[in-house]
Structure formats: C-alpha cells, structure tokens
Structure 1
C-alpha cells in the first residue's frame, strides 16, 4: 500500500481557472465539462480539489509529475457524478504505473474548509 497527500489553497488556482490553455493541460474534457455546469462561485473549489487530488495521486504512485514514468496530468482523472463520492480513473501511464507497482486499486478522499483543500490517495 502507498499513500499520497496534498494540500492547497483554493485561491492559489484562481489564475489557472482563467487560463483555458493551462486548464486544458491539467484537466480532461470530462473534468472541464463538469466544472462548466457548476455555478461560477463553485468552480474554484472544484478545480482546487481536482488539482490537489491529482498531486496526491501522483505521489501515491511514487512518481510525481516529473519522472521517468512520465505521468501526465490527464493520466489522472477525477470523476464525480452528482450524488456520488469522487473517484480516480487512471489512463495511459497512470494506469501502467499502478500495474507496474503491483496494485489494482486507487482510492481518493478530499475535504474542503474555507479556502483550503486537502486530498489523500491510497493505492493498494
């Protein structure tokens, strides 16, 4: 079992949310589409939690985003349908890395408080 954790301020992503090119680099179309359906005041929290969760997942996978395994931001997708707990779906190098580690499962938990977001990811 491996664990990754990350912490961020929602306000630290405010410039990213305004830059579509950077958002396209960090987030999948499905993540962006989900955010677009939210009220503008909720989008910052949404993106901060996804960013934080992706960082935690990359740490749990033992690579971060700069490594020889070359995990990309979009290789880690945070899925959260209304009324269900958010989950991680791995793609491409993220999926390969999990398999290479000998694990099959990845779990996510995150929490919001005021301007803060924390995410914990466990692979097992």
Structure 2
C-alpha cells in the first residue's frame, strides 16, 4: 500500500532577498515566468519567492526524490487557482517520479512571517485520498436499525429470563 508523503521546508526571507540582489539570474533560472510575475506584483517579492522555493523543497521531500539527477528547478512550480489558493504543478522528471509512485495530487500550504517562509506539501495516492461518502441507502439503514432493535430485544429477554 502506498502511503502519502509529507514534506516541509522553511526559508529565511532575508537570505532570499540577498540572493535575488546579488544574483539577478537566480529568479530567471529557478522560477517560472508566471511565478516571477506573481512575486514581482506583491509588496514583498522576496517573501513570495521564498515561499515558492520552500514549496519546491517540500514537494520534493513529499515525493521522496529531492533534487536528484535529472530534476530541474522548474520541474516543480507554484501557481494559484481561481480562489487564490496555491497549487503545485509538476513537470519533467518530478512528474515522472510522481506517476511511478502513484501520486494523484500534491497539496501545498504556504505561509510567511517577517523573517521566515514555510511550505508544507502532502502527496496523495489512491490509497490515501479522501473517500467520497457513500450514498445513503434507506433499505440498508432500515435493516441496520432492525438489527440494532433485535439486539436490544435479545438482551432484554436474556436479562429478564435470568431473574
């Protein structure tokens, strides 16, 4: 049975800020056009870059592969869905690893404070995916109710016969 993988990573925002200042190519090498556009549109770009970098690391940890040979920085990226929630996108070698491990999806959560950015990732497989509740079956519920009632009656009879 495949288990869900969990990963977490934390990045110092000041360190990301220094890297971005000293090595302008870093953002182009590591982040997608969409990620750069998003981060640069915010009041604290370094915090958002740090979150996205942490998300890459957390995702790779959840998948159990890390930055192994063949894994590129852009094999994992973070976009946002229509409601603004972060969403991990897998490509290349990382997408292949996920398929091989039976991973259906990777959920990610991002957060930051003044100093730190953190990301949590959970890789879900068919065995660990939440199940949709079964449809109600009134006949089955009625049969269960009768079984319970019969059990209570049997217990009452046992108690009263023992007097």
TM tier, smaller = 0.7 to 0.9
TM-score (norm 1): 0.88
Partner of 1:3: 6
- Say which SS state the counterpart of residue 51 (structure 1) adopts: helix
Give distance in 1, aligned partners of 2:65 and 2:121. 13
Paired residues, what number?
120
Q: Which moved further from structure 2: 109-118 or 78-87?
A: 78-87
Q: Which runs of 5+ in 1 are unaligned?
A: none
**Which of 13, 16, 21 is 1:13 aligned to?**
16
- What is the 5 A alignment of 1:38-49? 38-39=42-43, 42-49=44-51
Partner of 1:51: 53
Please report how far the alpha carbon of residue 55 of structure 1 lies from its aligned counterpart in structure 2 after TM superposition. Answer: 0.8
CA offsets, 1:59-116, max 9 Å, x none?
Answer: 1111111x24x22110101002685111101111121111011111110012212211
TM-score (norm 2): 0.68
Query: Quick check: 1:24 aligned with 2:42?
Result: no
Alpha carbons 1:5, 1:59 under 8 Å: kept:
yes
- Say which SS state the counterpart of residue 107 (structure 1) adopts: strand
Cα RMSD between the aligned structures?
1.6
- Say which SS state the counterpart of residue 71 (structure 1) adopts: coil
Distance 1:98-1:85 versus aligned 2 partners, 3 A rule:
same
CA offsets, 1:11-47, max 9 Å, x none?
Answer: 11112222221211211111112222223xx101110
